[in-house]
Amino acid sequence: MAKVGIFFGSSSGVTRGAAELLAEEFKGSELIDMEEDFDGIEQFEDFDVLLIGSSTWGQGDPQRDWVDPLYELSNDQPDMSGKKVAFFGAGDQDKHGEHFVSALGKMHDLFTSLGASAYGFTSTQGYTYEFSLAEREGKLCGLGIDDVNQEDLTQERVSAWAVQLKTEMGL
């Protein structure tokens, strides 16, 4: 069976909540809080499937616990070919609609540049924002959640995404 690792960075708990919902959907998966449980980029090697979670901060930047790991990845350039990755994370389309969930786009570009295959693109319908680095050919390159403005949709979005990932990844 494919080993699924759910790696998340979350400052106020929103992305963490989504990660925990995903852990319930992917039985046998491992939850890795980037602040508490992350030992180094070798940890990605333990898994076939990486669900990468980060909220967006600053000007479209990944959450702070991802800064060093992402730097190490881009520096060391480990081979990630054969790995299946998908990206999720919280943002605020109203107050930060100039960079809504842009962290997902930055992480997508890095992991795919290392050879990983990205899954779980979603429709932009139902969101209202000006710009996002996560937008690719009219889709978001992962799952955006927004508990500031659309908390009532989060659980449903995460569950639907889990179903989509299982189908796309053949899990």
Q: Which pair of tokens denotes residue 105?
A: 């786009």
108 near ligand FMN, rule: CB under 6 A? no
- Least Å distance, CB 137 to ligand FMN, is 20
If one asks whether residue 65 binds ligand FMN (CB under 6 A), the answer comes out as no
User: Phi then psi for 119, rounded to 5 degrees?
Assistant: -130, 170
Interaction of residue 88 with ligand FMN, rule CB under 6 A? no
The yes or no reply on residue 154 touching ligand FMN (CB under 6 A) is: no
Binding region for ligand FMN (CB under 6 A) out of 11-19, 40-48, 134-142, 155-163:
11-19
Radius of gyration of the chain from Cα atoms? 14
Contacts within 8 Å (CB) and 24+ apart, 37-43: 38/7, 38/65, 38/69, 40/72, 41/69, 41/72, 41/73, 41/76, 41/78, 43/5
Footprint of ligand FMN (CB under 6 A): 10-15, 55-58, 60, 63, 90-92, 96, 99-102, 147-148
